[in-house]
Amino acid sequence: MTVASTAAGGVMKSRFGTVKGVLFDIDDTLVDLEYSMTTALREVSEHLLPGLDQAGWERFGRIFTHETTHYYDQYLAGELTFNEQRLLRGRAALGHFGIELADGEESHQWLTAYIQKQPSYVKPFPDVLPLLDVLDRAGIPYGAVSNNVHDYQRAKLDGAGLDRVTHLVGTDTLGVAKPNPAIYLEGVRLLGTEASQTLYIGDNLLLDAEGSTSAGLLGVWLNRTAETAADFSGTAVSTLDELVPLFE
Ligand SMILES: [Mg+2]
């Protein structure tokens, strides 16, 4: 992507038109959730799978983070609690390698250990702080809109050193989740901008780039892992570094 921009009093002229605010997805956009999950998963599961090699642990992590997201959808639909979906995903990953977690104490211990460990591994991606720095310098307000509940995400951002992201919309803010247009528009309202002048940046093609664009924002797909998407005709970047020139 090549962009030319001029900064003037918190208003950016760019290939997007005028940009007066920026909203981010959180998980795997601002913070490396996958790293925190897979690191904690291995730590709390290693005693159950003592002989598993590196490729096995990568497979284990992938089942939890990518192949069992239907349980997260059930959580969003109110059919499971957040921790129930975590346990089901863990059981699926363990089950793939022939380990059955017993109901009751064994499951409780595994889940409790994971809940304790995982937050300590949450950290921002290296390209996040440089972009927030240029936004601060340019006087561009920013915030986050996430498909998890506000207080959990607030603690996650703060724990990752991102307390400067003060504007935050969660699924319990209005009682709707992405891609419902209302959740992106609540973020716009908090920034005090117009949807058509607000970037929305996230790693999920459907929920972030396309959902925000449908709500009238300037959607940007953050494709960190070089996924292919033949039908996608919107704006994509591979790193947040590509957005920095917009605001310098
Ligand atoms: Mg995400």
Q: What is the pTM of this model?
A: 0.86
User: Ligand 1 centroid to 35 CA: how many Å?
Assistant: 13
Mean of pLDDT values over 66-92? 96
Mean of pLDDT values over 136-146? 97
| Res 240: pLDDT | 97
| Res 16: pLDDT | 74
| Res 178: pLDDT | 98
Percent of the chain scoring above 90 in pLDDT: 89
Which residues make Cβ contacts (< 8 Å) with residue 14, sequence separation at least 6? 3, 4, 5, 246
DSSP letter at 121 equals G
Instruction: Give the pLDDT band of residue 13 (cuts 50, 70, 90).
Output: low
User: What are the boundaries of each domain within the chain?
Assistant: 6-32+123-247, 34-121
Instruction: Give the pLDDT band of residue 14 (cuts 50, 70, 90).
Output: low
User: Ligand 1 centroid to 100 CA: how many Å?
Assistant: 29
Q: Assign a CATH topology to domain 6-32+123-247.
A: Rossmann fold (3.40.50)
Q: Which pairs from 83-91 meet CB under 8 Å and 24+ separation?
A: 83/111, 83/115, 86/111, 86/114, 86/115, 87/111, 89/63, 89/64, 90/41, 90/45, 90/64, 90/114
Digit-coded pLDDT (tens) for 91-118: 999 999 999 999 999 999 999 999 999 9
| Res 115: pLDDT | 95
Residue that is written with structure tokens 């460990």 in the block? 117
Fold agreement between 6-32+123-247 and 34-121: no
Instruction: Give the pLDDT band of residue 2 (cuts 50, 70, 90).
Output: very low
User: Ligand 1 centroid to 25 CA: how many Å?
Assistant: 6
Instruction: Give the pLDDT band of residue 247 (cuts 50, 70, 90).
Output: confident
Query: End-to-end CA distance of the chain, in Å?
Result: 16
User: Ligand 1 centroid to 116 CA: how many Å?
Assistant: 22
Does the structure show a pLDDT above 90 at 10?
A: no
Instruction: Measure the CA–CA gap between 153 and 157, rounded to whole angstroms.
Output: 6
Does the structure show a pLDDT above 80 at 163?
A: yes
Does the structure show a pLDDT above 70 at 1?
A: no
Which residues make Cβ contacts (< 8 Å) with residue 102, sequence separation at least 6? none
| Res 3: pLDDT | 42
Instruction: Measure the CA–CA gap between 5 and 10, rounded to whole angstroms.
Output: 12
Q: For domain 34-121, which CATH number applies: 1.10.3470, 2.60.40, 1.10.150, 3.40.50?
A: 1.10.150
User: Ligand 1 centroid to 207 CA: how many Å?
Assistant: 8
User: Ligand 1 centroid to 208 CA: how many Å?
Assistant: 8
